Amino acid sequence: MNFNSNLIARIAGDERFQVIYELNRIQEEHNIVTENKASSKRNDQGNDTLSGEFVFTSVVYVDAMRSMTRNYGNNLLFAKQVQLKIFDTLYENVNMSQRFLNSFFFYLGKHDFEEDQGELKFTLEQRWGNAFIEIVNFRKLPLEFKFRLAEHAKDSSLERPFEALIAFTMAALTAKDLWDIPNIVKYSSLAIQSAKTILVNEDEIDELYEWLNKIGRSGFAGEEDIQRYVKHLLSELLIIESQNLLDLSPKENSLGIVKKLDTLEESMGGLPPKAKVIRALAYVYLGKLNTSRKLSREIYEDEFTSKLYKSEACYSACFAGYNDTKEEAWKEAIEISQRGADTMLEFMKEEKKLMKSRKIRQQVKEIMGNLFMTKGMIYQFKIRNLKECRECYDDALTYKTKINDVLGMAKTNGLLGLLLYSIASDLKKRNSGEHTYSTNNDLKKAKEYYDEYYKLASKIENSEGLIEAPKGLGNCNVELGDFDEAIRCYERSAQRSIEYKSLLGRVEAYCQLIKTFILKGIDDDERYKKYLDQVIRICQDNPQNEQINELRKGLMDFIDAQKAKNERIEENKFTK
């Protein structure tokens, strides 16, 4: 290990060229560069002669990481390059990957890691599994490493499901930290499959326990302890997957989420509060509002539940109220949202120690953002109190921005754009159909919000935002009299609707295009006829789709009204 210490000393001392030289020596001495794949393969078919070399090289990698975070100061970029060089070296030979996985997993669990803020501390006494899972939150560990490790684990997930479980979980939690919803769902699903493979195979658990003890890295009291750990991990992964499936496509995924969580409740004899909140939200999308409210009430009225989850249950109850049709339900939802915010403030005052955790702080801000967003939606779409609505959306955006919740930021920007567009349109009607300086400014500001909505949605490939944001921009441009730009926006929305197979989005965009051609006075444009034919054909193919047929009816009423208006104008000209 003297060579390792020498390398770390040189990293800390910023001797860059010497470090690269030493790394090249590691490549040569341990025979893991691309040119030596053949000899590595021969070793792999024989005994385990290279496993010690991989342990050694893994040690160098981890110590380089620790050195970077504690000693490297202003040269973080170079330290990261050092890490990635070692990582790439290890992965240049696929045959050695499994030995690398084994050695790296256990080395991480053996060491004491501590972040400057004191949020993460792992000691030798802590079990290996928990130590490794929590290392995901170590902010300086390169993201490239986490995702590439998980991708590589796919090939060995059946042979070594426990390592695959850890690698997939690490990638899922990393994606969660980045609000990368598609990757959260992808890796949590893979991790769940690995966990289930372990739990249904007792021989696998026995072998795993013997193997862990043999290398002196167990930390588990016995086979049952491993089984409990995997079950706990499985429940956490199901919760993560369910939450993000709900964010990704709530209507399509809600029934499956309820079934999964019901099964989990049966196997565990209960559900964690977070899972109960997710299930309550899923019931809202299934249209079972009373069931959702009942589940939410059980959480926030339970004296043993943390105030953190009581507040989140208030959000799910508020969301159920928003989706109701009765005015008393909306007013009750506003009261519940206020109750949730007050409960959260109490939690923040009482649990100052917990609030030191970055995870908890993020969770608090996420819940507060959701409460304010839903409350704002009730004020805007149900009660029509636009002043209160604006304040709620501004607060929601503040919270969502603080935790870099890209999806939440996107949705809130979209809601703010719609709010300002609605205010400008309403004021125009009261002002004899004319815009004022104030309404023009509102429309320009609305366009800024919609632009931001589109940019944020593009970052995470959010189909709803990519369809709705251009449509919102088109509406603002129509009000401002810029019909050409409006047409471009609607066509972009229509194209996105085709890409994401949103029939409703297509019809909405086509209807807006047809109306814009009429307002511009070019209803003889060939595109006008093409889009009108498309709307008629889609409606004929989907006679049971009420939303689409309502759009067609609204379009035909608009066309008839414009014809009547033009006829009156012509009559007045003739009379004069």
Higher per-residue pLDDT: 462 or 23: 462
Which of 479, 542, 540, 488 minimizes the C-alpha distance to 513?
Answer: 488
pLDDT on residue 351: 86
Structure tokens at 352: 């100052």
DSSP-derived secondary structure for 114-127: B-TTS--B--TTS-
**Which pLDDT value is given to residue 344?**
94
Q: In the beta sheet, which residues pair with residue 121?
A: 114
Residue written as tokens 């800390």? 12
Q: What is the pLDDT of residue 210?
A: 61
The CB density around residue 200, as the number of other CB atoms within 10 Å, is 9
Tokens found for residue 465 = 């935002």
The per-residue pLDDT for range 474-513, each reduced to its tens digit, is 999 999 999 999 999 999 999 999 999 999 999 999 999 9
The pLDDT, as a whole number, for residue 144 is: 57
Helices and strands in the chain: count of H runs, count of E runs: 26, 0
Specify burial of residue 245 (Cβ count, 10 A radius: 0-12, 13-18, 19+). Answer: buried
**Per-residue pLDDT at 263 exceeds 60:** yes
Q: Is 73 exposed, middle or buried (0-12, 13-18, 19+ CB in 10 A)?
A: exposed
**Which phi and psi angles does 326 have, rounded to 5°?**
-100, 140
Q: What's the gap between Cα 126 and its chain centre?
A: 30
Of 153-162, 216-225, 265-274, which range is least confident? 216-225
Q: Which domains does the chain have, with CATH numbers?
A: 249-399 (1.25.40)
Q: Please count the residues of the chain.
A: 576
Which DSSP symbol is given to 325? S
Read off the pTM: 0.68
Instruction: Round to whole Å and give the CA distance between 174 and 139.
Output: 10
pLDDT at 19 over 70: no
CA distance 532 to 517: 11
Sign of CA dihedral 520, 526, 532, 538: negative
Look up tokens 């342990």; give the residue.
Answer: 55
pLDDT of residue 499: 94
Report CA 97 to chain centroid distance, whole Å. Answer: 30
Question: For residue range 48-77, what is the model confidence (pLDDT) as tens digits?
Answer: 333 444 434 444 454 444 444 444 444 444
Position of tokens 């008629």? Answer: 536
Q: Give the list of residues 6+ apart from residue 405 with CB closer than 8 angstroms, or none.
A: 179, 366, 369
Confidence of residue 198 (pLDDT cuts 50, 70, 90): confident
pLDDT value at residue 568 = 79
Q: What are the start-end ranges of the E strands in 166-277?
A: none
DSSP designation for 286: T
Residue 155: in which H helix or E strand, if any? none
With a CB cutoff of 8 Å and minimum separation 6, the contacts of 364 are 308, 344, 347, 348, 355
More confident call, 114 vs 288: 288
Residue type, 322: Y
